[in-house]
């Protein structure tokens, strides 16, 4: 091969590579999993696979610590510096969509036909976000505790009633098995309160806001059912069943494992660690039914597209690509959360038919209720958190809930009803 | 009046040192807890918090938390970013704020009293109140770099440095110190024909060691502990400082051992900086009554 041929060949090859590179459009993506090695590896794998198979777009990933991710998004939105693809916590999505941080997705919706309801984010009738997983809460208990206290094991079809639950707590309190009968997790402040505790309120028949209009909390958060819930909630602490708001965070992490608490209200993300800690007769019980059915929270992190993205087609293509069962299963195996589809669950070690956490898939599909789908939820959630903490600390139930309703309604009015 | 005998003098010393030791322990215990916890696995760390064992190197000790902390996040990058941003800001701040103070104290120009009052008034404005307007401003500012004219300072070192160079407190410290310098020195220098720049560089600054140390330490602490500003102006990991990096360890189940290891590591530059300047810092407190 002479010099001319070699140079000509090199020119052709380099031109081809260069034109391929030019043809690929760069997409930016922000993700909340900074610091989570497993999650980072998984999302990087999806990005890498997409970039390798898609000739038109190249995704550049930037990870953020979860605790500061939302602030970074809001700051970037103000500065006009949002990326193309973002991920968003399910209950926050309506606020970001309303604030025009996000645009609707235009993915093929047959892909998400079998997804768990909590993994799909809709606002104003349009699809804005889809998640690869959901999270669920259950009542942690030991079979040996139920046996010792002579309690029946509640099931998904036949959960404990409110009376049965309180009888279980009475039995636990009267025994010397544990220091506290119940650990609701008061040390976990923030979103844990509305996520974990509003389902109790909903089971009583109340709610954080009136979902028929989404314009007021009147009647939902201070009606008779809500007052009944409030009285029950206060009794947990006044009656010495549960540690209050001053709970030591370390007790929240290890109290159930150490036997300090007989029952613990906890998420599926803590299940593997509890099993690994040697609790070999661990049970994940459904939420008690206080009259309106057993309810648990739903909605976790989901993918969406920023309103300012000029490459929505590529961003939609990436999201569709990420929704493959193999990635849902990989995320579930990696970080322990519930995969969005049954097909993906069957591919996982924890949520497959005989997996140790299989019950969570059923809990999530049958009992999950998403938090109020409203831009005002971000404010209502904080108001609700404060109200529950105050009631736990002895505040008057009716006054506290009335004040919470006023605060939520004022926020609704200030924001013109958030477009509802 | 009772005479001071060797016995009660000794008793007073014992009481004094006992109280001082107790106060020192209160300040030292958190640091001891941090360092000891950094060698313990999470479960043991959490269990030890309910006893005095939390302050003792007992149980299953290892360097695993340090290894894992460096694996979880680019700690070296975060430390470099913080030290670089902090170091450069401190140097530039000392230069510009001392020059401003020199002008306020030694030069006669119209409006200096009013301007100094305005500068001092900025001390009462919390940064949080101007964070958003400042963000909007820096996101549109031009900059001429290696690649020509750019618009917007986000995701750079300069956006973490330049807005923090001049501040009312540092100017105030220099102004107060300069006012106490003998005016004869300045006047003698003027008579000798020295320029204002020569007086600043050859006369005033060499006498200002204590206030330089004080201003440097206070500025260092402010900059090294920056959280809100870098959080909103820096979205790329390559520019993140240590305090934003701390968030990497707060997952659903926080890695407490790694958090303690990370905190131990990032505390080292602060302690080193303070140890280098502590003598001058204490001298400054003694002479001016100014402290952080």
pLDDT score, position B1: 52
Task: Provide the residue ranges of all domains of chain B, joining segments of one domain with +.
Answer: 1-72, 74-247+264-288
The CATH class of B74-247+264-288 is mainly alpha
> Which residues lie closer than 8 Å to B106 by C-beta, 6 or more apart?
B178, B186, B196, B199, B204
* Angstroms from A150 CA to nearest CA on chain B: 31
Taking CB atoms and an 8 Å cutoff, what residues of chain A touch B250? 35, 65-67
* Angstroms from B260 CA to nearest CA on chain A: 15
**Which residue from B minimizes the CA distance to A63?**
B237
- Report the alpha-carbon distance of residue B203 to residue B199 in Å, rounded: 5
- Report the alpha-carbon distance of residue B222 to residue B242 in Å, rounded: 13
User: Who among B43, B47, B249 is closest to A35 (CB)?
Assistant: B249
Taking CB atoms and an 8 Å cutoff, what residues of chain A touch B231? 68, 71-72, 75
The complex scores an ipTM of 0.81
**Which residue from B minimizes the CA distance to A76?**
B232
- Report the alpha-carbon distance of residue A80 to residue A78 in Å, rounded: 6
User: Is residue A385's pLDDT more than 90?
Assistant: yes
pLDDT score, position A300: 92
Task: Using a pLDDT cut of 70, give the percent of chain A over it.
Answer: 95
Q: Is A76 close to B135, i.e. CB distance below 8 A? A: no
- Report the alpha-carbon distance of residue A266 to residue A137 in Å, rounded: 5
Radius of gyration of chain A from its Cα atoms, rounded to whole angstroms? 24
Q: Is A79 close to B72, i.e. CB distance below 8 A? A: no
Q: Which helix (H) or strand (E) holds A340?
A: none
- Report the alpha-carbon distance of residue A228 to residue A347 in Å, rounded: 43
Instruction: Summarize pLDDT for A250-261 with one digit per residue, the tens.
Output: 899 889 999 999
| Mutation for A interface: B231, B238, B242, B256, most A CBs within 10 A | B231
| Mutation for B interface: A65, A187, A243, most B CBs within 10 A | A65
User: Is residue A221's pLDDT more than 90?
Assistant: yes
Q: What is the mean pLDDT of residues A95-106?
A: 97
Residue with tokens 């669950």: A345
Q: What are the residue ranges in chain B where pLDDT is below 50?
A: 289-292
pLDDT score, position B292: 39
Distance of CA A44 to the CA centre of its chain: 21
**Which residue from B minimizes the CA distance to A273?**
B253
User: Is residue A13's pLDDT more than 70?
Assistant: no
User: Is residue A60's pLDDT more than 50?
Assistant: yes
Q: Is B135 close to A67, i.e. CB distance below 8 A? A: no
Domains along the sequence of chain A with CATH: 26-133+299-358 (3.40.190.10), 137-296+376-419 (3.40.190.10)
Q: What is the mean pLDDT of residues A137-162?
A: 97
Size (chain B), residues: 292
Q: Is A253 close to B46, i.e. CB distance below 8 A? A: yes
Dump strand ranges (E) for A268-370: 282-285, 296-298, 301-306, 338-339, 368-370
Distance, first Cα to last Cα, chain B: 39
- Report the alpha-carbon distance of residue B244 to residue A62 in Å, rounded: 14
- Helix axis angle, B64-72 to B75-106, nearest 10°: 80
Task: Using a pLDDT cut of 90, give the percent of chain A over it.
Answer: 86
Instruction: For residue A210, name the pLDDT band (cuts at 50, 70, 90).
Output: very high
Alpha-carbon dihedral sign for residues A14, A17, A23, A29: negative
User: Is residue A319's pLDDT more than 90?
Assistant: yes
Q: Which residues in B have their CB inside 8 Å of a CB on A?
A: 43, 46-47, 49-50, 71-73, 132, 135-136, 139, 152, 154, 231-233, 235-237, 244-253
User: Who among B43, B49, B139 is closest to A79 (CB)?
Assistant: B139
pLDDT score, position A169: 98
- DSSP structure string for A22-68: HHSEEEEEEEEEET-HHHHHHHHHHHHHHHHH-SSEEEEEEEEEHHH
Q: Is B236 close to A30, i.e. CB distance below 8 A? A: no
B22 secondary structure, DSSP code: H
Q: Do the beta carbons of residue A39 and residue A73 sit within 8 Å?
A: no
> Which residues lie closer than 8 Å to B243 by C-beta, 6 or more apart?
B82, B224, B225, B226, B227, B230
Taking one residue from A and the other from B, the number of pairs with CB-CB distance under 8 angstroms is 79
β-pair type (A180-183, A261-267): parallel
**Which residue from A minimizes the CA distance to B234?**
A72
pLDDT score, position B255: 86
Q: Is B231 close to A72, i.e. CB distance below 8 A? A: yes
Q: Which residues in A have their CB inside 8 Å of a CB on B?
A: 30, 34-37, 62-68, 71-72, 75-76, 78-81, 248, 250, 253-254, 258, 267, 269-270, 273, 277
Instruction: For residue A4, name the pLDDT band (cuts at 50, 70, 90).
Output: low
Short-list A247, A238, A291, CA closest to A265: A247
Tokens standing for A64?
Answer: 């953020």
Q: Is A78 close to B233, i.e. CB distance below 8 A? A: no
Residue with tokens 């509003």: A198
- Report the alpha-carbon distance of residue A13 to residue B253 in Å, rounded: 50
**Which residue from A minimizes the CA distance to B138?**
A79
User: Who among A35, A76, A277 is closest to B248 (CB)?
Assistant: A35
Computed over every residue of chain A, the mean pLDDT equals 93
* Angstroms from B58 CA to nearest CA on chain A: 19
């Amino acid at each position: 091969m002479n010099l001319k041929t070699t140079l000509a060949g090199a020119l052709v090859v380099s031109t081809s590579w260069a034109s391929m590179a030019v043809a690929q459009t760069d997409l930016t993506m922000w993700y909340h999993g900074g610091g989570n090695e497993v999650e980072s590896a998984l999302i990087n794998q999806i990005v890498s696979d997409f970039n390798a198979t898609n000739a038109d777009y190249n995704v550049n990933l930037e990870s953020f610590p979860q605790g500061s991710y939302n602030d970074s998004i809001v700051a970037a939105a103000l500065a006009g510096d949002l990326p193309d693809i973002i991920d968003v916590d399910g209950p926050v999505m309506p606020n970001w969509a309303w604030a025009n941080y996000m645009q609707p997705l235009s993915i093929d919706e047959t892909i998400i036909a079998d997804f768990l309801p909590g993994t799909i984010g809709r606002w104003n009738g349009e699809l804005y976000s889809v998640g690869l997983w959901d999270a669920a809460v259950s009542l942690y208990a030991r079979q040996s505790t139920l046996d010792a206290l002579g309690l029946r094991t509640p099931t998904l079809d036949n959960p404990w009633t409110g009376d049965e639950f309180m009888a279980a707590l009475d039995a636990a309190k009267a025994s010397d098995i544990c220091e506290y009968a119940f650990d609701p997790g008061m040390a976990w402040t923030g979103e844990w309160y509305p996520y974990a505790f509003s389902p109790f309120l909903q089971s009583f028949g109340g709610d954080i806001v009136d979902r028929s209009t989404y314009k007021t909390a009147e009647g939902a958060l201070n009606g008779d059912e809500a007052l009944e819930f409030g009285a029950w909630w206060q009794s947990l602490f006044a009656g010495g069943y549960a540690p209050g708001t001053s709970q030591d965070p370390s007790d929240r992490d290890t109290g159930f494992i150490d036997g300090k608490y007989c029952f613990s209200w906890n998420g599926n993300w803590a299940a593997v660690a509890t099993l690994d800690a040697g609790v070999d007769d661990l049970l994940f019980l459904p939420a008690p039914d206080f009259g309106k059915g057993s309810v648990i929270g739903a909605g976790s992190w989901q993918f969406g597209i920023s309103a300012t993205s000029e490459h929505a087609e590529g961003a939609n293509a990436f999201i569709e690509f990420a929704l493959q069962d193999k990635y849902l299963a990989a995320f579930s195996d990696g970080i322990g959360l519930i995969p969005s589809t049954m097909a993906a669950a069957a591919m996982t070690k924890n949520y497959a038919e005989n997996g140790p956490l299989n019950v969570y898939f059923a809990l999530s599909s049958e009992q999950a209720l998403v938090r109020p789908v409203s831009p005002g939820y971000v404010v209502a959630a904080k108001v609700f958190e404060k109200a529950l903490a105050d009631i736990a600390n002895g505040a008057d139930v009716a006054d506290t809930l009335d004040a919470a309703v006023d605060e939520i309604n004022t926020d609704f009015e200030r924001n013109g009803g958030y477009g509802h | 009046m009772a005479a001071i005998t060797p016995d009660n003098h000794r008793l007073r010393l014992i009481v004094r040192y006992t109280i001082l030791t107790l106060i020192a322990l209160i300040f030292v215990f958190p640091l001891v807890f941090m360092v000891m916890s950094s060698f313990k696995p999470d479960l043991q760390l959490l269990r030890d918090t309910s006893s005095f064992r939390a302050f003792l190197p007992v149980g299953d000790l290892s360097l695993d938390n340090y290894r894992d902390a460096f694996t979880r996040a680019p700690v070296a990058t975060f430390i470099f970013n913080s030290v670089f941003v902090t170091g450069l800001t401190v140097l530039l701040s000392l230069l510009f704020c001392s020059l401003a103070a020199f002008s306020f104290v030694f030069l006669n120009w119209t409006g200096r009293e009013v301007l100094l009052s305005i500068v001092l008034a900025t001390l009462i404005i919390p940064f949080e109140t101007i964070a958003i307007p400042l963000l909007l401003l820096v996101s549109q500012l031009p900059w001429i770099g290696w690649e020509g004219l750019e618009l917007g300072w986000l995701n750079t070192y300069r956006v973490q440095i330049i807005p923090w160079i001049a501040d009312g407190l540092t100017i105030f410290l220099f102004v107060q110190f300069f006012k106490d310098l003998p005016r004869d020195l300045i006047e003698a220098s003027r008579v000798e024909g020295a320029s204002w720049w020569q007086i600043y560089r050859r006369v005033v600054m060499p006498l200002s060691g204590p206030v330089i140390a004080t201003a440097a330490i206070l500025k260092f602490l402010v900059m090294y502990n920056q959280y809100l500003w870098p959080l909103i102006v820096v979205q790329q990991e390559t520019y993140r400082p240590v305090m934003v990096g701390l968030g990497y360890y707060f997952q659903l189940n926080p890695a407490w051992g790694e958090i303690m290891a990370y905190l131990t590591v990032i505390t080292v530059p602060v302690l080193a900086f303070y140890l280098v300047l502590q003598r001058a810092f204490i001298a400054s407190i003694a002479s001016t009554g100014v402290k952080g």
